[in-house]
Structure 1
Amino acid sequence: MNDETAHHEQVGQPHSDSEPAPIQAAEERAAELSSDRHPLGRPGRRFDRNSPFMVGLTGAAGVLVTVGAVRVVLAAHEALLLVAAGLFLAIGMEPAVSWLIRHHVRRGFAVALVFLIVAGGLAGFLWAAISPLIDQGQGLLHHAPDALRGLEDRYPLVREAAERFHLDQRLRETSDADFGKVSHGLVGAGKVIFGGVTATVLVAVLTAYFSANFPALRANLYRLVPRDRRPRAILLGDAIFAKVGGYVLGNLLISLITGVVTFIWLAAFGVPFPLVLAVLAAVLDLIPLIGSTLAGIAITLVALTVSLPVCVATVVFFIAMRMIEDYLLVPRIIGRTVQVPAVVTVVAVLIGGSILGVLGALLAIPVAASLLLLVRELLYPRLDHPAKSGPTTPRSRG
């Protein structure tokens, strides 16, 4: 730009004096408004929001924005789920990253260190257990029909249930599939594996990005709140972040403990396929309420192939594990970070699972805890102490 007009040197060249006089006057005024501190000028006065035109325009724009936002969410729901998963994991990593930062580790190194620990532990587990997992998984599938027939011969109740639900036929159809079905299944499995690997890589990259830039994301998020409400929003937002982070780390640690203890129990009593069943218990334990119950039912059925006493002992083991998890592990590991009543937990898991599947069930409890915090801190005070309209003067009796 030159000193006389605000006409940019890279826009609309060649510039001449043949422009209309009102435009030339506006450019001269724009040059006066531009300064080193405000190169694009100071913001002008606000529009009159109470004018009929602005009211109608705002309403129409709100409807269009809402419809457009819904269409975008529906069209990009898979990508948004990956973003939500990455942000969820980044918030879950934040307590560990912040602990390292408090001990004089730079944020980039702290994020890298946490990632290396997680990736190293996962890679070490896969290196040591991938071959037994594959072998035991194939053995579990191949021996399922024989195991079911053995249970039918030993327990009439199992025979009645198998005949009612046609379990023999279904297992036989699964194990005796022809080559075309098998090849088609392999192609489908390959697509599923490729999609799972791609999604895992994307979530890992998003998690690293969100975690490395979490302070900037946090600051920009709070900047969207009006200035007079910003301090309160910071207190509430940080409390929500702490709840989500504590829940994620605590839930992962509890699932790891559950998997290890389950493997020791199954190996000690000679239950077949202990590694596969222990991994199944650890993964399903991540799902609140129903996860550990489903794992217990499946493992108990496998334990029934050993003997009835081992099956009963396994039932007692899972009940004891549930009690230990609810009354010892959760209070000590997660502590008071997440305080959600049991009925709210059940409803939240059901709603989250029906909307987003497994991811929704995992997100249900921290989201419910966050909503309860907002209700307790924002809604209840307004309902208990409503704003007064002003002092009233009692009428004088004549």
Structure 2
Amino acid sequence: MKIATRTGRSAGLWSDRLGAPATRALQVLILLALAACVVFAMMRLKLLVIPLLIAVILAAALAPVVRYLKRHGWPPLLATWTTLLGALGLLSLIIWLVGREFRDEWPLLVEEAGRGLDELERFATEGPIPISEAQLEQARQAATQALTSDAVQAGAVRGATAAIEAVAGLFLGLVVLFFLLKDGRKIYSFLLTPLQPYTRQRALRIGDRSVDVLGGYVRGTAIIAFVDAFFIGLALVILGVPLALPLAIVVFLGAFIPLIGAVLAGVLAALVALVTNGPVTALIVVAVIIGVNQLEGDLLAPVIMGRVLALHPLAVLLALTAGTILAGFVGALLAVPIAAVSWAAIKEWVATSPSHEVVVAEAEPPPDEG
């Protein structure tokens, strides 16, 4: 009798008015703890996780090329190697063009930058709020001490270590990308083998939908980034701004970071124009950047990315902030596609659930027998 009473009292604690919310809160806390453990493990294994995620994103973007070659009779191995080497060749060509542009125009840029800094210093000493030579000298000494401090040297050591890790991650990512292009669906099907047949079919549909969303996001972002880089780069060439091609490529790469990437790249282009060509040219560059951003926000993004990136701008901002806090620049680059794929997977999982299918079937009108 005592055991039964205690059991009844214990059951009553979880079945009264506070019991159900408490149970739900405990479930949420367990899920949050599990998510925190997963994030912590991913941060500890970032040398493995980051190349894997980048390889998955690139594989989703390049998979249509491999499928196209296979449909036209190419052997799978040859189609994979052709796609991979073609992408690497295009990347190498871009790097060579940027390097040649820097080599040719870097001396001019240094000279113009020095002249611009001299003018800025003269404006600071003779402008409406004059600054004395002693204050400028103190600022120079503070900057020199900051650049030669132990923290900067330690940062240089960490930077060298990060460079070595980046090279290792690059080779790992290339290997993973090759196998994903060649046997991506086979690998995913193998991972789903322990699941029940119905659940496995749902997971396969979710995987297909996620690949479509991810590939569409990368290709759509690349189209928008190319348009931004083309018009801004064309304006820089017409205005005679040095390093127009590298700056256009920076704009192209910056567009892959939503909301802020293209803006920061445009600010860099405007600063180069200000230092080398003066304030009038810089203002023209700023006007071009604003016009291109308006074109992107009002026309290109809704048309190209509207159905692919079904995320509210607030969700994009939150995902971008979380990714930047957790993994810095790489997190900012990967946060939005991961959020888009996660949301697409959740919607597909709900849409393929038996209860949802029953509700949809009951909501459909009966066929017209007349």
The two structures have a TM-score, normalised by structure 1, of 0.66
Q: 1:71-92: CA deviations, max 9, x gaps? A: 8645433222222222222222
Match of 1:94?
A: 63
Deviation at 1:198, TM superposition (A): 3.5
Match of 2:183?
A: 213
The one-letter amino acid of 1:251's match is T
1:349 aligns with 2:320: yes
In structure 1, C-alpha distance between the alignment counterparts of 2:141 and 2:305, rounded to whole Å: 41
In structure 2, C-alpha distance between the alignment counterparts of 1:167 and 1:159, rounded to whole Å: 20
Deviation at 1:313, TM superposition (A): 1.5
| Pairing of 1:155-234 with structure 2 (within 5 A) | 169=139, 173=143, 193-234=163-204
Q: 1:185-213: CA deviations, max 9, x gaps? A: 99887665554333323322221122212
Q: Identify the structure with the greater helix proportion.
A: 2
Q: 1:30-75: CA deviations, max 9, x gaps? A: xxxxxxxxxxxxxxxxxxxxxxxxxxxxxxxx9xxx8997886454
- Contact preservation (8 Å) 1:93, 1:249: no
- Contact preservation (8 Å) 2:209, 2:345: no
1:338 aligns with 2:309: yes
1:310 aligns with 2:281: yes
The match for 2:221 among 244, 251, 259 is 251
In structure 1, C-alpha distance between the alignment counterparts of 2:350 and 2:131, rounded to whole Å: 53
Match of 2:120?
A: 151
Q: 1:230-272: CA deviations, max 9, x gaps? A: 2222222211111011112332343344333322211210223
The one-letter amino acid of 2:120's match is L
In structure 2, C-alpha distance between the alignment counterparts of 1:289 and 1:162, rounded to whole Å: 37
The match for 1:294 among 242, 264, 267 is 264
Q: 1:191 to 1:309 in 2, by over 3 A?
A: same
Match of 2:53?
A: 84
The one-letter amino acid of 1:203's match is G
The number of residues matched between the two structures is: 321
Match of 1:361?
A: 332
Task: With a CA cutoff of 8 Å and minimum separation of 6, indicate the structure with the bigger relative contact order.
Answer: 2
Q: 1:368 to 1:166 in 2, by over 3 A?
A: farther
Q: 1:216 to 1:128 in 2, by over 3 A?
A: same
- Contact preservation (8 Å) 1:92, 1:245: yes
SS at structure 2 position matched to 1:223: coil
The one-letter amino acid of 2:308's match is T
Q: 1:381 to 1:223 in 2, by over 3 A?
A: closer
Q: 1:270 to 1:143 in 2, by over 3 A?
A: closer
- Contact preservation (8 Å) 1:136, 1:275: no
Q: 1:75 to 1:359 in 2, by over 3 A?
A: closer
In structure 2, C-alpha distance between the alignment counterparts of 1:80 and 1:203, rounded to whole Å: 10
In structure 2, C-alpha distance between the alignment counterparts of 1:362 and 1:351, rounded to whole Å: 11
In structure 2, C-alpha distance between the alignment counterparts of 1:162 and 1:297, rounded to whole Å: 26
- Contact preservation (8 Å) 2:77, 2:182: yes
In structure 2, C-alpha distance between the alignment counterparts of 1:73 and 1:116, rounded to whole Å: 29
- Contact preservation (8 Å) 1:284, 1:295: yes
The one-letter amino acid of 1:211's match is L
Deviation at 1:102, TM superposition (A): 2.9
Deviation at 1:353, TM superposition (A): 1.7
The match for 1:237 among 198, 207, 215 is 207
Deviation at 1:226, TM superposition (A): 2.2
1:114 aligns with 2:79: no
- Contact preservation (8 Å) 1:145, 1:171: no
- Contact preservation (8 Å) 1:95, 1:242: no
Identity among equivalent pairs (%): 25
In structure 1, C-alpha distance between the alignment counterparts of 2:100 and 2:251, rounded to whole Å: 19
The one-letter amino acid of 1:88's match is I
In structure 1, C-alpha distance between the alignment counterparts of 2:301 and 2:211, rounded to whole Å: 18
The one-letter amino acid of 2:314's match is V
Match of 1:260?
A: 230
In structure 2, C-alpha distance between the alignment counterparts of 1:135 and 1:186, rounded to whole Å: 28
In structure 2, C-alpha distance between the alignment counterparts of 1:141 and 1:339, rounded to whole Å: 45
In structure 1, C-alpha distance between the alignment counterparts of 2:173 and 2:291, rounded to whole Å: 35
Q: Can you give the 5+ residue segments of structure 2 that lack an aligned partner in the other structure?
A: 1-29, 360-370
Larger of the two Rg values belongs to structure = 1
In structure 2, C-alpha distance between the alignment counterparts of 1:182 and 1:68, rounded to whole Å: 32
Q: 1:95 to 1:200 in 2, by over 3 A?
A: same
The one-letter amino acid of 1:246's match is G
Q: 1:92-144: CA deviations, max 9, x gaps? A: 22222223323333322222121222122222233343132245457656764
In structure 2, C-alpha distance between the alignment counterparts of 1:276 and 1:150, rounded to whole Å: 25
